[in-house]
Structure 1
């Protein structure tokens, strides 16, 4: 029988040769090993990623702050109502001013300048003077009344028609009735117009009732200062109300603010939700104020119209328009944002992790 033992060394030699050849091939063509990174690696964000993160946090802060306010509807509604009352008072006075200006335009005929002509002034000369006066930039209209027409109006309106019929000659002169423009309807402008007309050779006298004009302008000046002072005081009250509300919100979230600052949150990151809270308080108060003003002027419109009709006037009470309402809401939101910024800048600095 043949034995297989002599074949074992040969098989081992073959295996060893194959391993040696493989080792030689690896030594001849070594594979490059990947370099190992040692230590921490700093990743850099592009400006687009930073902007996306910034805008996302803004939107999240705005939505989260609004939802927090809606979680306490009674407290938020009371704050909105207080802000609305503080905003509605000066806004109502502003609307009253606008209506007074409308009444002033309706009274524009009361500021007419009466130019009395000399007896020797003929009709053609009077018409020529009227045309030159009407072309002035500060004159809205100029109307000539002849002596005959003035006598007819005197008989109709004075109640002395029978007595005027027995007169031998017409004692009334020709008159030019001048209506100045509204922007020139000031005491100084009317006085300048009066001096210019007196210098005309055909003019005998110029009559102008300046007293009511001075009273009206003085009243408007006093009322404007009063409204400005009241608006400033009420705006300060709105700032204090919103500032106190933001201070309470900061105190309630003190622990959360400390944790955010410990993990590296910046003051701008922490400040952002509270600023949106102040903005929402201001915008909500402005909306409530606009609604209150609309309801109030709608309620007063009918009695004011009836009173104007009794005086044969076409005056109608005008409330806030759409553009004015939007401006009121934006102004209230800006005021709320300023109040929140002041409160956060003062109280957030005091919260620092130890």
Structure 2
């Protein structure tokens, strides 16, 4: 039997064994396999406790749905304000001693200005007759010794910025025959200011509620870490990395946040559906084309993604804080 050479015995010695190099393709397959296993096992553990999971989903969904629903309300009010918007109009109330001929000449002079589209003269007697016809206070009007209403000029300026309209109002109010000038779009500007204030309030409320969602998810993940303490210690004893331990917990937070986002989208859709019929009936009674709008498909998907991102972020914060405290002794 032939003897092995010295080089052969040396190359086969146990102390000279070289570790097998793992290729990038194998690492990628292993990383992907562990992610899929972690996602499936985390979802299974969440579904194994349906009552507590549903409660967590409901809390997260309500916290996300509240600012989302308020934002939908503000969006519909803004839509209604856009439909009610009409060209700006200045109402010039003339002084009591201004006669009708002088008021007519003033209306013609103002109509010739470049920044004014049209003017209309409303005689005080015609205004009183219209008021009596609409209000039904004929007996009260007959008891008046004189007409208390002034002559009125309705001025429609060309479209301009609010600053330019304010300047025009001040200029017309300074005319000798004008007692007071009112800009009829002030109510719309007030409405827009209220909408801006409402949006800021909703944004602040959303920040507070989203922070509460992160805290709720962080506490849920902390409880999950404590329940798996022995498992985490064993995994670290056999050489498992923090990333290996972290993945199932991150997927747990992802499933909780994703479910909460779905619940939030359903709550907002249900609220919109419940209010759509009476709001549309009221709109039809006023012969308006306003229709209540809710979240569309894209906005609903964004709401679900927001919930998933919050779940992932809350889980990451909880894991980063509590996982380092668990080390094998």
TM-score after normalising by structure 1:
0.71
User: Contact 1:115–1:177 at 8 Å: present in 2 too?
Assistant: no
For residue 344 of structure 1, report the CA deviation from its aligned partner: 0.9
The residue that corresponds to 1:226 in the other structure is 201
User: Contact 1:286–1:328 at 8 Å: present in 2 too?
Assistant: yes
Per-residue deviation, residues 25-64 of structure 1 (Å, max 9, x unmatched) = x89xx99857424424222222222222222211211111
User: Contact 2:214–2:313 at 8 Å: present in 1 too?
Assistant: yes
- How far apart are the structure 2 equivalents of 1:90 and 1:174? 42
Structure possessing the higher radius of gyration over alpha carbons: 1
Paired positions, count? 290
Per-residue deviation, residues 88-147 of structure 1 (Å, max 9, x unmatched) = 1111001011011101102211x6134989455498x56xx3xxx6xxxxxxxx854676
The residue that corresponds to 2:162 in the other structure is 190
- How far apart are the structure 1 equivalents of 2:231 and 2:131? 88
Q: Which runs of 5+ in 2 are unaligned?
A: 93-104, 134-150
The residue that corresponds to 2:137 in the other structure is none
- How far apart are the structure 2 equivalents of 1:55 and 1:32? 42
Matched, 1:95 2:67: no
User: Contact 1:281–1:333 at 8 Å: present in 2 too?
Assistant: yes
For residue 173 of structure 1, report the CA deviation from its aligned partner: 6.7
The residue that corresponds to 1:113 in the other structure is 89
For residue 225 of structure 1, report the CA deviation from its aligned partner: 2.6
For residue 218 of structure 1, report the CA deviation from its aligned partner: 3.3
Q: Which runs of 5+ in 1 are unaligned?
A: 1-22, 134-141, 162-170, 181-188
For residue 340 of structure 1, report the CA deviation from its aligned partner: 0.6
- How far apart are the structure 1 equivalents of 2:230 and 2:110? 94
For residue 229 of structure 1, report the CA deviation from its aligned partner: 2.1
- How far apart are the structure 2 equivalents of 1:268 and 1:77? 28
User: Contact 1:278–1:336 at 8 Å: present in 2 too?
Assistant: yes
Compare 276-285 and 237-246 and name the one that shifted more: 237-246
Report 1:1-354 matches (<5 A).
33=8, 35-39=11-15, 40-109=17-86, 112-114=88-90, 118-119=106-107, 121=109, 129=114, 144=118, 158=130, 175-178=155-158, 189-195=161-167, 207-209=182-184, 211-354=186-329
- How far apart are the structure 2 equivalents of 1:73 and 1:122? 74
The residue that corresponds to 1:137 in the other structure is none
- How far apart are the structure 2 equivalents of 1:192 and 1:122? 16
Compare 38-47 and 268-277 and name the one that shifted more: 38-47
Please give the root-mean-square deviation of Cα atoms over the aligned residues, in Å. Answer: 3.5
- How far apart are the structure 2 equivalents of 1:179 and 1:342? 53
Segments ≥4 residues shifted beyond 6 Å: 171-174, 196-200, 203-206
Distance 1:44 1:225, change over 3 A: same
For residue 233 of structure 1, report the CA deviation from its aligned partner: 1.8
- How far apart are the structure 1 equivalents of 2:193 and 2:46? 46
User: Contact 1:114–1:178 at 8 Å: present in 2 too?
Assistant: no
For residue 274 of structure 1, report the CA deviation from its aligned partner: 0.5
For residue 80 of structure 1, report the CA deviation from its aligned partner: 0.7
Distance 1:46 1:228, change over 3 A: same
Query: Highest relative contact order (Cα 8 Å, sep 6+), 1 or 2?
Result: 2
Distance 1:103 1:174, change over 3 A: closer
- How far apart are the structure 2 equivalents of 1:115 and 1:92? 39
TM-score after normalising by structure 2:
0.76
- How far apart are the structure 2 equivalents of 1:344 and 1:285? 20
